Structure 1
């Protein structure tokens, strides 16, 4: 499983290297693109990734919770969710097979959205 520290700056998230014969986990690049999509007021509260496989494909299952705060929270959430399932993601050697909203709500300092994504390794 891969997880991240939510206090790491976004620029540091994409420095992800493969370990051994495996490929790099696409989660850091996906997080950077989700944050860019939502805007400056978005932050990652929680993110985890685990291996996934079917009879024909290998990939990773991701769960991400993003929080948006400030006066622009509602607009940031709308930007994030508008066309989310049709969005084009740039992930080296992976593609997003599925991405959806699992839950959403509000907190004392803004709004939050929990997403699930399935990335498949390209052959």
Structure 2
């Protein structure tokens, strides 16, 4: 016969299960870091996130469009794009497995940067 009482508060177990069952979308934290990298003034024009999975990993696929404005927007856009693949991102419980610039374009009001990222849940 085996007996084990390692849980001092059974009500805490239910709360932990509910918290663990919630999907963790790293998109808000990633957006904050992307806009910080872009510098001011910059904003998120579009952001979408959807679940992604392979045989061994699960995570989320993100598509983001940033708009940079101001007189120095072209220089900031170039700096933003330069080396983005090697950038370290801080996403608790997640890591950026892939990030790439899909498109950049200019208009009379600023620079537009569209990028894709894949975040993976850490085990």
| Stretches (4+) displaced over 4 A | none
Give the RMSD, CA atoms, in angstroms: 1.5
**Aligned counterpart, 1:33:** 33
**Aligned counterpart, 1:45:** 45
**Aligned counterpart, 2:13:** none
| Unmatched segments (≥5 aa) in structure 2 | 1-17
TM-score (norm 2): 0.81
**Aligned counterpart, 2:106:** 106
| Unmatched segments (≥5 aa) in structure 1 | 1-17
Distance change >3 Å, CA 61–CA 113, structure 1 → 2: same
The structure where helix makes up a greater share of residues is: 2
CA contact (8 A) 1:101 1:116 kept: yes
Alignment of 1:52-91 (within 5 A): 52-91=52-91
Quote the Cα distance in structure 2 between the aligned partners of 1:62 and 1:91. 14
Quote the Cα distance in structure 2 between the aligned partners of 1:61 and 1:54. 12
DSSP 3-state at the match of 2:79: helix
Larger Rg over CA atoms: 2
**Aligned counterpart, 2:119:** 119
Quote the Cα distance in structure 1 between the aligned partners of 2:82 and 2:48. 23
